[in-house]
Amino acid sequence: MALLSVIVPCYNEEENIIPFYEELTKHIGFLEERQIGLEVLYVDDGSRDGTVAKVKELRQRDGRIRLVSFSRNFGKEAAMYAGLSHSRGDYVVLMDVDLQDPPSLLPEMFSYIGQGYDSVATRRVSRKGEPPIRSFFARRFYGLMKRISKTEIMDGARDYRLMTRQMVDAILSMQEYNRFTKGIFGWVGFETKWLEYENIERARGETKWNFWKLFLYSLDGIAAFSTAPLMLASVAGVIFCILAFLMIVFIIVRKLLFGDPVSGWPSLVCIILMTSGVQFFCTGILGQYLAKTYMEVKKRPIYLIKEEI
Ligand code: UDP
Ligand code: MG
């Protein structure tokens, strides 16, 4: 019998665990028709509330529930990776526990897998209910990534995605420490069907992402899937050399025509400040990539498990 694994990363989500399960079970009648089994794998990302207790309570009711619990908070990327590596299903779907990823889409998603797609992904076409500043920067991020990365990263893509075992194994073969799953999905390729839906607001509790966290996450994404920023230093270097050459010609000509090579102290200060600023900026970019490389080289585990049921 085939098996579907539902992977649910949870961080301090005690009030969402059971509503999610109830909503999910309303929409999985199609599994029985197709003779497909189910496992629901909650990945507790080091929650400090009653999340683990709630999952254990559910487990008493339904033997198809599984739990992987981390020793501390490792982040959603680590939780998704752990979920994928512990899943046993022939088909695997990643879902948020806050019901922003509607389980009602599952039957439709599954029908596409039957039609030969390896993966069915979702994207939200609107961002209603989100702070405008967040939407603005999200759009800029996707626009920038389109230009500087060869990997396709879809605007508004969610992590809500159904995949075949083959694709899951491909994702698991990418064992990088700095994980940016939205990019990894695109990088591995395979035939993907995109479904679109209107943004749904979180059922209960609060988002775990503030603006600053998302901003840093977007920088991770850029560093993980593009090396274009590293080119910036070379480009800036060439531009400044050309400018310097033009300045030298200008100053020599001016000296020959008008004398007085000394005046121009303010412009000199501006030039020094400007060029040293650009240099620090470029060194900073180098540092970012070096830091990422440093973390990769250490080969630390992506997550640590405290408990598994
Ligand atoms: N999450 C997680 N670890 C974290 C932060 C979030 O496992 O460090 C989970 C969270 O419990 C939820 C999902 O990731 O199931 C999405 O998080 P959230 O709803 O806060 O993000 P948003 O939908 O606002 O982008
Ligand atoms: Mg959410």
- Residue 111's CB is within 10 A of a number of other CB atoms, namely 13
Would you state the pLDDT for residue 117?
93
**CA 89, CA 109: separation in Å to the nearest integer?**
16
pLDDT(150) > 90: no
One-letter identity of residue 215: F
Q: How confident is the model at residue 34 (pLDDT cuts 50, 70, 90)?
A: confident
Tell me the three state secondary structure of residue 262: coil
How much is the mean pLDDT over the chain?
A: 88
**CA 90, CA 92: separation in Å to the nearest integer?**
7
Would you state the pLDDT for residue 4?
93
- Which tokens in the block code for residue 139? 């759009």
pLDDT(86) > 90: yes
Q: Of 62-66, 222-226, 254-258, 275-279, which has the strongest mean pLDDT? A: 62-66
Specify the long-range contacts of residues 74-77, CB closer than 8 Å, at least 24 apart.
74/45, 74/46, 74/302, 74/303, 74/304, 75/45, 76/9, 76/11, 76/45, 76/159, 76/208, 77/179, 77/180, 77/181
Query: How would you list the strands of the sheet with 65-70, edge to edge?
Result: 192-197, 119-124, 157-164, 91-94, 2-10, 36-44, 65-70, 305-308
307 Cα to the center of ligand 2, angstroms: 25
Q: Which residues line the pocket of ligand 1, CB cutoff 6 A?
A: 9-11, 13, 45, 73, 75-76, 79, 96-98, 100, 202, 207-209
Q: Of 68-82, 128-142, 254-268, 276-290, which has the strongest mean pLDDT? A: 68-82
Ligand 1 atom with minimal separation from the 207 CA: 20
pLDDT(29) > 80: yes
Describe the crossing of helices 76-86 and 165-172 by its angle, rounded to 10 degrees. Answer: 130
pLDDT(298) > 80: yes
Average pLDDT value for residue range 148-162: 87
Q: Which ligand is nearest to the CA of 157?
A: 1
Cα separation values, 168 from 71, 80, 89, Å: 24, 11, 10
Would you state the pLDDT for residue 211?
85
256 Cα to the center of ligand 1, angstroms: 68
Cβ-proximal residues to 130 (8 Å cutoff; 6+ apart), any chain: 199
Ligand 1 atom with minimal separation from the 8 CA: 15
pLDDT(53) > 80: yes
